[in-house]
Structure 1
Amino acid sequence: MQVAAFYFDGKTSRRHTVTLDVADGLATISGEAERVCPINQLRVSERLNRAARKVTYPDGAYLEIQDNAAFTSLLHATAHRDSLVVRMQQNWRATLAAAATLVAVLVLGYLYLLPLAAEVVARSLPISVEQRIGDGALDFLDDHVLLPTQLPAARRTAITTRFRALTAEVEGVPHYEIVFRKSRIGPNALALPSGQIVLTDEIVTLLDDDDAVMGVLAHELGHVHRRHLMRRLIQSSAIGAAATALFGDVSAVIANVPTVLLDMKYSRDVEREADDYAVELFKANGISRKKLAYVFEKLGEKEAAGGGVPPYLSSHPASAERVERILNAQ
């Protein structure tokens, strides 16, 4: 069986008209060029609808097949088989299955592998990195969202002193600092990776209950202890976080801080962790967990009264189910 082809020697652009024949494991071309080569040394390109197939020699010379139908018959006669990848590409069912598998892997990786990796990286970062990120985040908030506090110094001291007393006897409490600010966007509180807990005048005034304020601080301390913001930052800048872990360059993570802070939404699982942390802290100090539930009830009342969704509520999703869970926690 002879197949029409063009032969190129790989050294010049000259085209040689030849015919290809295979016998006894040898590929022979004849015509304007002659050459013999074992077929196991040749590389055959994959099949494409509108392109000529190529047969490449070990030294870079190649054949450009002109009669694809005859060449296909020749391949069958020599028991040639395309690679598994090529065969899958030529099979639409296999292609769809591969695409579905890829989507599934990406989704599962995003939902489960990325959060797990983020937690591992967050726990391996040195304290100095978290301090730099926290300081940068607070500077950003002070420039765009926060104002100097107007709470009396005595009130601020009383809140800080009481919360210090609550955490004094609890084992494993991380370093933290309560930072008081007035907010341009209403009642709010948030925890930074450096351990700074930002408490706004507006949420203190709205709650008007020291135990409830302790609940807000306990919840935010849970975020600090579990490194929730750091994990969120790492998940949203995974490549930059990997570079941070490998090379110590935190610029990529720091650059992502404003975006995350302005869209601070934790998952329900993460919020449950922080709630459970606050419940345990209250239990250790003999404070009723009703005060913790009161925080979300009070914010919910503000929303229902037409005051809009309080920022603390929008970033910490509260619901009747969540309040019930806090009250019924074991």
Structure 2
Amino acid sequence: MELTGNYFDGRTSRAHRVTLAVRDGMVHLGGDIERSTPLAQMRVAERIARAPRKLTFPDEATFEADDQGALDALLQATGHRDSPVVRAQQSWRGALAALGVTVGVVVLGYLFVLPAGADLVARTLPVAVERQMGQGTLALLDRHVFAPSRLSEARRGELAARFARLVPPGTVEGPAPVWRLVFRKSRIGPNAFALPSGDIVLTDEMVALLNDDGAVMATLAHELGHLHGRHLTRRLILGSAVAAASLLVSGDASSLVAGVPALALDLRHSRDAEREADDYAVALLERNGLPLAYLERVFVALDGLEENGAVPAYLSSHPATAERLARVRAHTR
């Protein structure tokens, strides 16, 4: 079988009219260009719907057949077979299966691999590095969300001293994290959260809502649980990993940079992290002989806000109040 087509030497754009034939394991050209090359050294381009299929020589010269069907027949006669990947690309079933596998890998990676990786990094990260990650976050929040606390210095000192006297739970693995209690007046209502820097932020509105120092201690114990579990560090690492993955896919660095302030302001935790922090608070209260009713009062107070439609940011990702109450009450039985 002999084919006609164009030959390009790879150095100029000039097309040379040639004929191509395969004999005894050799590719022979005739016409404007005469050359012979072992068939085993030739490369066959992938099949593309409307583009001509090319044969490439070892020196990057190429041949394009006038009749693509005849070229396919010649390739088949020489025993050439496209790779499974190329064949799958030509099949809508293969393309659909590949899409399904890709989506599955992405979903599983997002749901399981990334969180597990973030957890591993957070738990092996030196505390000094973690503290640096948290530096500046409180300043950012002070510019956009908070104002100086209006609680008296004596009142702030009283709450801080009472919490400092509590003994960390001995049943929880690892030493108690270093913390600093920070009071702020909030524009977003009752709130309390812990930053990687070790700062536990308590708003005036939360103190007023609870109206019970024991409930305030339970709230702070919950936030200390977040510090102990390094939950926000894990969330920041996970968010950064997702942003970096998006950068690799889209090639748009602006999306990564633009997401940093939003990530710092997004202080929510996963429901699993909230349950872990609740368990830590229960262990701390029990270690100090304090009634778990203090923690129940926190949930009831926040549930009252939810029923009135005034849901604070503190509740945005927490498990349902009924579920949290049931978990705490299970400890009292």
Q: Is the TM-score greater than 0.5?
A: yes
Post-superposition Cα deviations, 1:67-108, rounded to whole Å, max 9, x if no partner, equal 111111111111101122211211221211111111111111
In 1, the alpha carbon distance for the partners of 2:134 and 2:163 equals 21
Matched residue, 1:136? 136
Alignment of 1:307-318 (within 5 A): 308-318=310-320
Q: Quick one: which of 218, 224, 227 aligns to 2:230?
A: 227
Moved more, 109-118 or 127-136: 127-136
- Structure 2 gap ranges (5+): 246-254
* 1:177 correspondence with 2:180: yes
In the alignment, is the contact (CA less than 8 A) between 2:122 and 2:234 conserved in 1?
Answer: yes
User: Which residue number in structure 2 is paired with residue 94 of structure 1?
Assistant: 94
Q: Does 2:253 align with 1:266?
A: no
1:136-191 deviation per Cα after TM superposition (whole angstroms, max 9, x unaligned): 01101111111111212222222112211113574610100111111122111110
Shift of 1:277: 0.8
Which string of whole-angstrom CA distances, capped at 9 and with x for unpartnered residues, describes residues 267-316 of structure 1? 1111111111111111111222221121011111133235x112322253
Residue 14 of structure 1 aligns to a residue in which SS? coil
Structure 2 contact 169–284 (Cα < 8 Å) conserved: no
Query: Is the Cα contact below 8 Å between 2:25 and 2:38 reproduced in 1?
Result: yes
C-alpha separation between the residues in 1 aligned to 2:257 and 2:130? 10
Which residue matches 2:50?
Answer: 50
> Residue type matched to 1:43 in 2?
R
Q: How does 1:5-20 map to 2 (within 5 A)?
A: 5-20=5-20
Listed as ranges, the matches of 1:77-226 within 5 Å are 77-167=77-167, 170=170, 172-226=175-229
Q: Structure 2 length as normaliser, TM-score?
A: 0.89
Question: 1:36/1:305 Cα in 2 relative to 1: closer, same or farther (>3 Å)?
Answer: closer
1:134 Cα deviation from its structure 2 partner? 2.1
| C-alpha separation in 1, matches of 2:259 and 2:124 | 19
Task: Provide the alpha-carbon RMSD of the alignment.
Answer: 2.2
CA contact (8 A) 2:141 2:265 kept: no
Determine the structure 2 residue equivalent to 1:326.
Answer: 328
* Residue pair 1:7, 1:15 contacting (<8 A) in 2 also: yes
> Does the Cα contact within 8 Å between 2:285 and 2:291 map onto a contact in 1?
yes
2:2 equivalent to 1:2: yes
- What amino acid is the match of 1:127? V
For 2:269, the aligned partner's letter is Y
Residues 167 and 117 of structure 1: is their aligned pair in 2 closer, same or farther, counting only changes over 3 Å? same
Alpha-carbon distance in 2 for matches of 1:297, 1:101:
45
For the Cα contact (< 8 Å) 2:52–2:68, is it kept in 1?
Answer: yes
Bigger shift: 164-173 or 214-223? Answer: 164-173
Aligned residues: 320
With over 3 angstroms needed to count, the CA separation of the structure-2 counterparts of 1:257 and 1:33, relative to structure 1, is closer
| Cα distance, 1:316–1:231 mapped onto 2, change above 3 Å | same
Q: Secondary structure at the match of 2:316?
A: helix
> Gaps spanning 5+ residues in structure 1: where?
243-251
More off after superposition, 129-138 vs 200-209: 129-138
SS class of match (2:166): helix
Aligned-partner Cα distance in 2 for 1:297–1:103: 41
**1:237 alignment partner in structure 2:** 240
> Alignment partner of 2:235: what SS?
helix
Alpha-carbon distance, 1:263 to partner: 3.0
AA of the residue aligned to 2:63 = L
The answer as to whether partners of 2:7 and 2:61 remain within 8 angstroms in 1 is: yes
Deviations 1:207-253 (A, max 9, x none): 111111111101101111111111111111117789xxxxxxxxx99
